[in-house]
Amino acid sequence: MEPFARETIAQRVQSVLSAIRSAAEKAGRRPESIRLVAATKTVTVDGIREGIAAGLSILGENRVQEALPKVEALAQAPVRWHFIGHLQRRKVRSVVGMFELIHSVDSLELAQEIDRRAGDAGQSQDILLEVNIGGETTKGGFHPDGLVQLVSTMAALSHIRIKGLMAIPPPTAEPESARTHFIRLRELAEAIAAQRIPGVVMEELSMGMSNEYEIAVQEGATLVRVGSAIFGARHA
Ligand SMILES: *Cc1c(COP(=O)(O)O)cnc(C)c1O
């Protein structure tokens, strides 16, 4: 086994947090302007507790079925939950109000369904729009072209609040190649912000995972979603 595997979750939480701080400082950004979202898919409740004890405060889950029992088991823990995976429309009703932020709204229909269900519940749901920033045919998400226009349409939905953008760049062995995608996402957010659409703020950029979160921080990420660098390689 490589030495990395023997590090504890607590040690890895500390190294990720300090890497975020130094990347921010090098880029002339305030470290507090970046929040770590721990991607906890396949991680046990005990593993998550260890991470919380070491300083994690935001947990990101991908699947509704997996998330619900964890949210319940950790109901007393001082954490907020974010939803970061593909959300099916028929699951929306069971998640509205449970997640502080849904990062992965990838279609107008999903935004409309969240708006409808949040309205039924008398709530307002914060969301990010997931952008297919690499234009991959195999991936969901909004196409960058025309998104500005679509945001105006979605802004009329009164029970969602669009807080920013999220993207997962095309997979690559070379972390540095994600940089251009991160820059494009930031520029797209700036272009949307420049429209001054009432009710739309572009204050969050959710980008960067274990392999490239430091590059994402240099390019303006406010939320980084890190899993394996904290919890180790996933087996499931
Ligand atoms: C799993 C996952 C992550 C974290 O990936 P790692 O490479 O393990 O850091 C981030 N974002 C999403 C949407 C994920 O599904």
d(CA 232, CA 10): 12
- The Cα-based distances of 23 to 16, 35, 60, 95 in angstroms read 10, 13, 22, 33
Ligand 1 atom 6: the closest Cα is on which residue? 227
Q: For the chain, state the CA radius of gyration.
A: 17
List, for residues 76-129, the tens digit of each pLDDT value: 999 999 999 999 999 999 899 999 999 999 999 999 999 999 999 999 999 999
- Answer whether residue 5 shows pLDDT above 60: no
List, for residues 11-66, the tens digit of each pLDDT value: 999 999 999 999 999 999 999 999 999 999 999 999 999 999 999 999 999 999 99
From the list 67, 74, 52, the residue with the least C-alpha distance to 99 is 67
| Ligand 1 in reach of 177 Cβ (< 6 A) | no
What's the CA-to-centroid distance between 112 and ligand 1, angstroms? 26
pTM of the predicted model as reported, rounded to 2 decimal places: 0.96
Cβ neighbour number for residue 142 with a 10 Å cutoff:
23
The whole-number pLDDT of residue 6 equals 72
Q: Decide: helix, strand or coil at residue 83.
A: strand
d(CA 193, CA 19): 29
The whole-number pLDDT of residue 59 equals 98
d(CA 205, CA 35): 10
What's the CA-to-centroid distance between 195 and ligand 1, angstroms? 31
The whole-number pLDDT of residue 129 equals 98
Extents of the domains making up the chain:
3-230
List, for residues 65-91, the tens digit of each pLDDT value: 999 999 999 999 999 999 999 999 999
Assigned CATH topology for domain 3-230? TIM Barrel (3.20.20)
Q: Which atom of ligand 1 is nearest to the CA of 104?
A: 13
Q: How confident is the model at residue 147 (pLDDT cuts 50, 70, 90)?
A: very high
